[in-house]
Amino acid sequence: MNANTPALTLALWQCPYAGNTAEALSRLDTTAAQARAQGAELLVCPEMSLTGYQIGAASVAALAEPADGALAQAVATIAQRHRIAIVYGYPEHNAQGKPYNAVQFIGADGEHLANYRKTHLFGDIDRGQFSPGPQAPAVFEWNGWRLGLLVCYDIEFPEPARGLALQDADAILVPTANMVDFDEVQRVLLPARALENRVFVAYANACGREGDTTYGGLSMVCTPMGEVEAPAGREAELLLVTINPAALEHARRSAQWLDRRTDLYAPGSD
């Protein structure tokens, strides 16, 4: 990031899951138009936003597609139509086993800029439906910003966020489906991840019910100083937040990075 990098307005779409992919794409089209009309440049959707999350292994496998499949092409068309970048979740086909729980970033011009597969699987829900991603998250550049993608449970571990920070990430985008009983993630862990790594963390959660599960909402953006920007409530909401490079510059003046004892952090260190 440089001094000329513009501020970035994010829209976090906190929503219940649709009944099928056609409905999900129709709702995405409407929401992308609304977000762009309100000044957003990037729309971040929940985990597995195009298919539903807890839909069972057979349904996940049946709906799984490659990263450039029909769902991706439909999202690219929506992004181009409304001139807004989109981060969305979907099941990615895996020839070696169960599909991946994946998220993809598509630019406002329809270009596929980044694809990430969830590396930390949550309980029987994830392990029954997905294979763990085999690669650590990587930073990519867009509109002068260095961005990273994580999925839900990933942000609850220090290492993925720190790995992105060490790649000079400015913001971490986290589609998620966190349940109502785990508010400590939003209350404690998200501000901590943002503060300890001096990055923005944008967390777009699902809400409402899916089967027997209630999702907790509380989508938010945390600043590099761990402050929470206008958190959402429990219900469906389109949350707009503008993040500014000046906040990064200010926060990084007091970052602890220069004092890290990397000689002590290797596995097996005494």
118 carries an active-site annotation: yes
Q: How many CA atoms lie within 13 A of 252 on its CB side?
A: 13
HSE, CB side, 13 Å, CA atoms: give it for residue 224. Answer: 23
Q: Where are the beta strands (DSSP E) in the chain?
A: 8-14, 42-44, 85-92, 100-106, 112-117, 140-142, 145-149, 171-176, 200-205, 207-210, 213-216, 220-222, 228-229, 237-243
* Annotated catalytic residue, options 15, 45, 152, 222: 152
Q: Is 152 a catalytic residue?
A: yes
Other CB atoms within a 10 A radius of the CB of residue 130 amount to 26
Is-catalytic flag, 141? no
Bridge partners for 112 per DSSP: 106
- Cβ pair 39, 33 in contact under 8 A: no
Which residue(s) pair with 215 in the sheet? 179, 208
Candidates 15, 41, 118, 222; catalytic one: 118
Exactly one of 47, 65, 92, 156 is catalytic; which is it? 47
- Residues labelled catalytic: 47, 118, 152
